[in-house]
Amino acid sequence: MNPPHIAYESGVLRLIDQTQIPRAIVVSRLTTVEEVAGAIRGMKVRGAPAIGIAGAYGMAMCAAASAAVSLSAEDFMNRMTEAARHLSAARPTAVNLSWAVNAVLALLAQRSLAGEQPAAMAAVVEAYARKIHADDIETCRRIGDAGAELLAPDGALLTHCNTGSLATGGYGTALGVIRSAWHAGKLKMVWVDETRPLLQGARLTTWELAQDSIPHTLIADAMAAHFMRRGLVSAVIVGADRIARNGDTANKIGTYGLAVLAHAHGIPFYVAAPSSTCDGATATGDDIIIEERSPDEVTSMGGVRLTPADTHAANPAFDITPAKYITAIVTEFGVLRAEFSQSIAAMRVCAAPRDGVTTR
Ligand code: MRU
């Protein structure tokens, strides 16, 4: 994707507004932590790794603004702590957001103990946010290559939601595997779930696949079982918002149903995610907070009401796929298999903390 969908320069975060794609390419220009949190909550930027990157740049923005008004070191730290709380609260399920802002705070705590002043700390935060962004692109490429090796040749992969460049720093997780498999000549086509209610599959994944000329067919979510039964799906691959220590995985609502369907049809079900999505503080899927969004997203589409005015609707944004339905989890450190509590724990040992900062 050219230019990048997320870029930070001189205290300004520029995002391609994902609520407008593919109708229009509109760039949002954000200059305050409140605006960054609002863009995350309103899903102008979305996808677990991408909101982590946006959160880190939000912290850089706050650090630069706070250093510019010559706050004391203590007031600077208080303001950064408040910014981290505000940003983390924007969306609760994807661990990457709280992971990124807490990593910035942990880094600042070290520097502050060493007596560093706000101006120097602001420069450190900006460099760190850029590193989180750059690392994510490299991580996605590694996930893509590891995942492509797993796949049988001539595959027809089914994917859900959007896990591509837009959802990450670039390249994508599950969509990164799809990209790598396509370039390796192992992929025939992609089934794209539309992903009700906000249509990330129909609007965003199709847009990214078309840009790369990867053959794909859009289906309504309810059609997946039909195509599996006819033998037309060789594997399912999805991203993740949070992976518990036992491998239970939170991802876009509808993922759990796909996993059960894949199991019933003997089709491999793969999760592709960076190690930062594995949350050492969460034991099982039961401990993951599921974001509830406005019922209007279900009762309306494109601002047009679909239902009678008094229809009640539920709108959990994510569901939990039990680890027993997951064939493998693809990370930048390689492919993890059951028993996931062991393979995830071993992987977390390999995942060296960035710059000596560990937050989980
Ligand atoms: O609500 P969204 O669009 O942010 O949900 C995104 C997903 O569920 C993705 O599958 C997940 O964040 C992984 S993105 C690489």
Hey, whose CA ends up nearest to atom 15 of ligand 1?
163
Strands 235-238 and 300-301: unpaired
Q: Are 145 and 180 in contact (CB under 8 A)?
A: yes
Kindly give the distance from the C-alpha atom of residue 318 to the centroid of ligand 1, in angstroms, as a whole number.
Answer: 9
Looking at the fold, whether 65 and 39 belong to one and the same domain comes out as yes
205 confidence band (pLDDT: 50, 70, 90): very high
351 confidence band (pLDDT: 50, 70, 90): confident
350 confidence band (pLDDT: 50, 70, 90): confident
What tens digit of pLDDT does each residue of 89-103 get? 999 999 999 999 999
**Domain end point (choices 84, 118, 137):** 137
Q: Is 359 part of a structural domain of the chain? A: no
Q: Quick check: CB of 285 below 6 Å from ligand 1?
A: no
Kindly give the distance from the C-alpha atom of residue 214 to the centroid of ligand 1, in angstroms, as a whole number.
Answer: 21
Q: Quick check: CB of 203 below 6 Å from ligand 1?
A: no
Separation of first and last alpha carbons in the chain: 32
**pLDDT at site 352:** 57
Q: Is 326 part of a structural domain of the chain? A: yes
pTM of this structure? 0.95
Looking at the fold, whether 115 and 248 belong to one and the same domain comes out as no
Kindly give the distance from the C-alpha atom of residue 288 to the centroid of ligand 1, in angstroms, as a whole number.
Answer: 15
Looking at the fold, whether 128 and 72 belong to one and the same domain comes out as yes
Q: What is the C-alpha separation between 236 and 239, in angstroms, rounded?
A: 10
Q: Is 149 part of a structural domain of the chain? A: yes
354, pLDDT greater than 50:
no
Q: Which of 208, 241, 293, 298 has most ligand 1 atoms within 8 Å of its beta carbon, as the pocket-test mutant?
A: 241
What tens digit of pLDDT does each residue of 100-146 get? 999 999 999 998 878 889 999 999 999 999 999 999 999 999 999 99
Q: Is 357 part of a structural domain of the chain? A: no
**Domain end point (choices 137, 154, 177):** 137
Q: Are 192 and 186 in contact (CB under 8 A)?
A: no
66 confidence band (pLDDT: 50, 70, 90): very high
Q: Quick check: CB of 48 below 6 Å from ligand 1?
A: yes
Q: Quick check: CB of 168 below 6 Å from ligand 1?
A: yes
> Where is average pLDDT lowest: 6-15, 30-39, 333-342, 346-355?
346-355
Among candidate residues 193, 241, 248, 279, the one labeled active-site is 241
Looking at the fold, whether 183 and 316 belong to one and the same domain comes out as yes
**Domain end point (choices 137, 170, 195):** 137
**pLDDT at site 356:** 47
Residue range of the domain that includes 347:
142-351
**pLDDT at site 71:** 87
**pLDDT at site 57:** 98
Amino acid at 112: S
Kindly give the distance from the C-alpha atom of residue 78 to the centroid of ligand 1, in angstroms, as a whole number.
Answer: 31
Q: What is the C-alpha separation between 341 and 242, in angstroms, rounded?
A: 14
Find the CATH number of the domain harbouring 200.
Answer: 3.40.50.10470
Looking at the fold, whether 161 and 132 belong to one and the same domain comes out as no
Domains of the chain: total: 2
Q: Is 360 part of a structural domain of the chain? A: no
Q: What is the C-alpha separation between 10 and 275, in angstroms, rounded?
A: 30
359 confidence band (pLDDT: 50, 70, 90): very low
Q: What is the C-alpha separation between 208 and 211, in angstroms, rounded?
A: 5
Q: Is 234 part of a structural domain of the chain? A: yes
Looking at the fold, whether 311 and 214 belong to one and the same domain comes out as yes
Looking at the fold, whether 221 and 281 belong to one and the same domain comes out as yes
Q: Which of 163, 171, 270, 329 has most ligand 1 atoms within 8 Å of its beta carbon, as the pocket-test mutant?
A: 163
Looking at the fold, whether 174 and 250 belong to one and the same domain comes out as yes
Looking at the fold, whether 74 and 162 belong to one and the same domain comes out as no
What tens digit of pLDDT does each residue of 265-294 get? 999 999 999 999 999 999 999 999 999 999
319 is catalytic: no
Q: Are 155 and 188 in contact (CB under 8 A)?
A: yes
Looking at the fold, whether 123 and 191 belong to one and the same domain comes out as no
Looking at the fold, whether 146 and 133 belong to one and the same domain comes out as no
Q: Atom of ligand 1 at shortest distance to CA of 238?
A: 10
Q: Are 347 and 336 in contact (CB under 8 A)?
A: yes
Find the CATH number of the domain harbouring 48.
Answer: 1.20.120.420
Looking at the fold, whether 333 and 294 belong to one and the same domain comes out as yes
Q: Is 358 part of a structural domain of the chain? A: no
Query: Residues 145, 147, 150, 152: what is their CA dihedral angle, to the nearest 10 degrees?
Result: -90
Residue 231 CA from chain centroid, whole number: 30
**pLDDT at site 1:** 53
Q: Are 112 and 60 in contact (CB under 8 A)?
A: no
User: For 302, which DSSP code?
Assistant: T
Portion of the chain with pLDDT greater than 70, in percent: 97
Q: Is 256 part of a structural domain of the chain? A: yes
**pLDDT at site 355:** 45
What tens digit of pLDDT does each residue of 226-278 get? 999 999 999 999 999 999 999 999 999 999 999 999 999 999 999 999 999 99
